[in-house]
């Protein structure tokens, strides 16, 4: 176990996999002024740890994350306070960049292991991960239209990349629930596992990724992220550069030797 500074966020690192567990089950793991800063801090810290090759974000008690704590929004508290409008906007911009953008730009593969609800900003956190694994009881909802908000933490952009503009608009305008099977058909979820063995299955999935060549995985992720933003010709150039970087690594030489010797490679990230 790794100390996160609070019981609202748990962290365990084993076999190259870091598991961050949102731990406010009585609030369906909704974000708080304690949980969210700890999550930001740990995402940055784990990105810098060489023993972490894959990050999993999940939730305790049958929920992933219900988004913002509605108790803190009562009476329009988001719009009140001593800060000016511009100060509030700047503050939210910073919070978004240091959470969902940092998760999306995490240098190693990331997985959202979703059971129960992933709603609002909680859904955005799941979308910011590279892969989403669902338990049979999982569901997602944008949720914002039900509370008179337009959305934050990049969910509108991230969801559009996965399902297209029309479906994303439908899910935002209606805030309807999308269950695990429908989410799988839409491309929101990569895999759906049974509730009874969900944790063992997502750990197994993550450990398989963690066994890969770290440098190749990092550069592979850069290629794939750029594919959402850059023209084809630019992406071709980045692919060429990154492949030649990989070709000069010890891990590539180890992979070739292991293939010829018909054994499993031992990647050291060099």
Give domain status of residue 84, yes or no. Answer: yes
Mean pLDDT for all residues in the chain: 94
- Counting beta carbons within 10 angstroms of the beta carbon of residue 108, is it exposed (0 to 12), middle (13 to 18) or buried (19 or more)? buried
Residues 195 and 240 in one domain: no
Contacts of 218 (CB under 8 A, 6+ apart): 107, 108
By residue count, the chain amounts to 270
Structure confidence at residue 76 (pLDDT) = 53
User: What is the spatial distance between Cα 245 and Cα 266, in angstroms, rounded to a whole number?
Assistant: 19
Range of the domain at 228: 214-261
Could you tell me whether strands 17-22 and 9-14 are parallel, antiparallel, or unpaired per DSSP bridges? antiparallel
- Among 182, 172, 55, 56, smallest CA distance to 119 is for 172
Could you tell me whether strands 17-22 and 54-59 are parallel, antiparallel, or unpaired per DSSP bridges? parallel
Residues 202 and 239 in one domain: no
pLDDT digit string, tens, across residues 14-58: 999 999 999 999 999 999 999 999 999 999 999 999 999 999 999
Give domain status of residue 228, yes or no. Answer: yes
Q: What are phi and psi of 164, to 5 degrees?
A: 90, 160
Residues 155 and 32 in one domain: yes
Contact predicate 123/176, CB 8 Å: no
Residues 95 and 192 in one domain: yes
pLDDT digit string, tens, across residues 76-110: 556 666 788 999 999 999 999 999 999 999 999 99
How many domains, the chain? 2
For residue 171, what is the domain's CATH number?
3.90.226.10
User: What is the spatial distance between Cα 140 and Cα 55, in angstroms, rounded to a whole number?
Assistant: 21
Residues 24 and 130 in one domain: yes
Residues 237 and 125 in one domain: no
Domain termination residue (choose one: 168, 188, 210): 210
Residues 146 and 218 in one domain: no
Residues 78 and 142 in one domain: yes
Residues 39 and 162 in one domain: yes
> What is the rounded radius of gyration, in angstroms, for the C-alpha atoms of the chain?
19
Structure confidence at residue 68 (pLDDT) = 86
Residues 142 and 60 in one domain: yes
């Amino acid at each position: 176990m790794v100390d996160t500074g609070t019981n609202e966020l748990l962290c365990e690192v084993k076999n190259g996999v870091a598991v961050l567990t949102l731990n406010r089950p009585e609030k369906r793991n909704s974000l708080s002024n304690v949980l969210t800063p700890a999550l930001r801090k740990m995402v940055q810290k784990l990105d810098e740890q060489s023993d972490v090759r894959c990050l999993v974000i999940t939730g305790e008690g049958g929920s992933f994350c219900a988004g913002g704590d509605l108790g803190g929004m009562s009476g329009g508290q988001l719009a009140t306070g001593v800060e000016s409008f511009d100060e509030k906007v700047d503050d939210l911009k910073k919070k978004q960049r240091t959470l969902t953008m940092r998760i999306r730009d995490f240098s190693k593969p990331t997985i959202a292991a979703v059971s129960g609800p992933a709603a609002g900003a909680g859904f955005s956190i799941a979308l910011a991960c590279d892969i989403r694994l669902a338990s049979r009881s999982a569901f997602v909802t944008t949720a914002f239209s039900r509370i008179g908000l337009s959305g934050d933490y990049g969910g509108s952009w991230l969801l559009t990349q996965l399902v297209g503009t029309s479906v994303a608009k439908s899910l935002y305008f209606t805030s309807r629930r999308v269950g695990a099977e429908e989410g799988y058909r839409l491309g929101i979820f990569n895999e759906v596992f049974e509730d009874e063995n969900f944790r063992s299955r997502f750990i197994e999935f993550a450990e398989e990724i963690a066994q890969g060549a770290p440098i190749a995985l990092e550069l592979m992720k850069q290629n794939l992220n750029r594919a959402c933003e850059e023209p084809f010709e630019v992406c071709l150039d980045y692919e060429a550069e990154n492949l030649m970087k990989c070709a000069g690594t010890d891990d590539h030489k180890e992979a070739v030797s292991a293939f010829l010797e018909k054994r499993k490679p031992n990647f050291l990230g060099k």
